[in-house]
Structure 1
Amino acid sequence: MTAAAPLLDLGRERAYVRDLGRAFAGALVFNIPLLMTMEMWEQGVVMDRWRLLTFIVAGLPLLYGLSYYAGFSKRRGLVNDALDTAVALAVGFVTASVLLILFGVVEWDAPPREALGMVALQAIPGAMGALLARRQLSGEGGGDTDEDQASYFGELFLMTVGALFFALNIAPTEEMILIAYKATPVHILALIAVSILLLHLIVFKAGFAGQEEADHPLKAFFHFTVPGYAIALAVSLFALFLFGRIEGHSVAGVVQTMIVLGFPASIGAAAARLLV
């Protein structure tokens, strides 16, 4: 008579606990700059709630895609990816809540609207860090995982994630607005050229799919670099909209600020392979 399978696989549960611990570490490592940025605290208070809701709703499919390509655990499949997404979001909320309370930013008697706004705004970047934890913190980065087999559109998705992660670290700051204000047309054109050049160079170093196109740099330029820079600019525009950096500015001013923010966003897009 065959013995019944144990209801609880201790080895698997211990592995999941380790994965969960790495998820918290990833949320902390990747989100600590935002958690200690005053502009992010202010945005959590003053940001229109519909903008915050838009950010969370837009972030959910990004988190699911990141779970599919990376994930903080080895479990795969539609349901497991959805569960990893939910757990990563919970990790992001818990990490942000604990640290903002620890820093004295969120006080016990703070209005619920303000406290929830500050925590929710930090939860999505924290969840991204949680989902990147296995690749970055477990020493398994060289494995043959789903992101190594990503399709062309999968690569563009990863570039979007990288661009968003970098843009979120810069978009709330006043320095970004100051740089855009001080920049001349020559500075802006030079920034576009440098952004595209760095993106093109990093793409090959980062090992994107289609690396065989390295022998055809012009083809690769139009295949990855141009779409990657367009993604960086689109993500930058979304970040400016999210943080209310568009209202009250001329079209030329918005475009100039978008190009300035597009510089770190393009580096994030190119370095997506190094992050994921």
Structure 2
Amino acid sequence: MTKAETAGPAGQDLKKTLRGLGRGFGGALIFALPMFMTMEMWWLGFYIDRSRLVLLLLVNIPLLVLLSYHAGFERTAAWQDDLCDAGIAFGIGLMTSIVMLTVLGLITRDMTADEIIGKIALQTVPASFGALLGSSQLGIQDVDDDEDASTKTPSYLSELFLRCIGALFLSLNVAPTEEMVLISYKMSEWHAVALIILSVAVMHGFTYALAFRGSIPLPKEGRLHAFLHDTVPGYAVALGVSLYVLWTFGQTDDASLTHIVMAVVVLGFPAAIGAAAARLIL
């Protein structure tokens, strides 16, 4: 065997790896850019409770592992590979956050180390999601990869986790903003009920009725079963994620139960869309 023949596969593997990393950086930029340029996210990095920030980073890891299983840099055969891809995505998100925050002048020498670390850590979470999502959204899968993908049919529990990922990703975009709390104060109880109905309807339409690419086929049990078995639990996941994100960002501190519920319902709308769209893009 000649040297060129032995070097060929290695060179192709390196090219494929570099291409995957490039897609990861592109995805991190595309998906996290709105948060890089959101003032509330800058300030959150300074005053967010550090225990809540650490918890968010810890929650991020298993979600990245699951996301890697469905839409990683490459098709994986073992959970160790998914863990490795999750680590790579986290690293890409970390480096992207450092570069972007520095270039935009949001990290300066006169800042304390605590503030700098807080800003970078907070932005790394959405950027790491984007790094993995960029692989599936920006890349063109090979035929062999598509064949492998067909064998990876997610279980019901995996579907709920995917919805959790989608809800978390999209809710992170808007949860830190003051508008979320302002809207919840302006809405009445009837507005909240109408928004709940709209959220569920949109979520069900995204998943079943509108025939988007990646839509889930309607089960043989019928529409009512699909609604009760998938849409309602999915919306419950979106509400749970909304409550967690609001708590993480301190939006529930010193707030009454009524205002917390209203804020969860408001954030639950984009979270529900993210939960429904998660299965469409993976």
Same fold (TM over 0.5): yes
SS at match of 1:109: coil
Identity %: 42
Of the three residues 215, 221, 225, the one matched with 2:227 is 221
Residue type matched to 2:272 in 1?
S
Instruction: Give me the CA root mean square deviation.
Output: 2.3
Q: 1:214, 1:236 → 2: CA distance? A: 31
* 1:196-216 alpha-carbon deviations (Å, 9 max, x no partner): 11011111134455x241771
> Hey, what does 1:139 align to over in structure 2?
140
Within the alignment, does 1:63 sit opposite 2:64 as a pair? Answer: yes
Q: 1:270, 1:78 → 2: CA distance? A: 25
Whether the 8 Å contact between 1:214 and 1:220 is mirrored in structure 2 is: no
SS at match of 1:271: helix
> By how many angstroms is 1:150 displaced?
1.1
Unmatched tracts of structure 1, length 5 or more: none
Structure 2 matches for 1:91-102, cutoff 5 A? 91-102=92-103
Whether the 8 Å contact between 1:97 and 1:119 is mirrored in structure 2 is: yes
> Hey, what does 2:267 align to over in structure 1?
261
> Hey, what does 2:255 align to over in structure 1?
249
Structure 2 matches for 1:46-125, cutoff 5 A? 46-125=47-126
Whether the 8 Å contact between 1:159 and 1:269 is mirrored in structure 2 is: yes
Residue type matched to 1:161 in 2?
I
Structure 2 matches for 1:234-245, cutoff 5 A? 234-245=240-251
Unmatched tracts of structure 2, length 5 or more: none
SS at match of 2:75: coil
Q: 1:183, 1:40 → 2: CA distance? A: 25
Residue type matched to 1:252 in 2?
T
> Hey, what does 1:202 align to over in structure 2?
206
SS at match of 1:149: coil
> Hey, what does 1:190 align to over in structure 2?
194
* 1:64-93 alpha-carbon deviations (Å, 9 max, x no partner): 111111102334422221111111001001
Q: 1:5, 1:179 → 2: CA distance? A: 62
Q: 1:18, 1:196 → 2: CA distance? A: 38
Distance 1:148 1:33, change over 3 A: farther
* 1:26-64 alpha-carbon deviations (Å, 9 max, x no partner): 000000011110000000000111111010011110011
> By how many angstroms is 1:8 displaced?
7.9
Q: How many residue pairs get matched?
A: 275
Whether the 8 Å contact between 1:135 and 1:141 is mirrored in structure 2 is: no
* 1:120-160 alpha-carbon deviations (Å, 9 max, x no partner): 00111111111111210013399342696111111111111
Residue type matched to 1:194 in 2?
L
Whether the 8 Å contact between 2:69 and 2:75 is mirrored in structure 1 is: no
- Tell me which moved more, 169-178 or 65-74: 65-74
Distance 1:7 1:14, change over 3 A: closer
Distance 1:134 1:76, change over 3 A: farther
Distance 1:240 1:10, change over 3 A: same
Distance 1:269 1:154, change over 3 A: same
> Hey, what does 2:164 align to over in structure 1?
160
SS at match of 2:80: helix
> Hey, what does 1:272 align to over in structure 2?
278
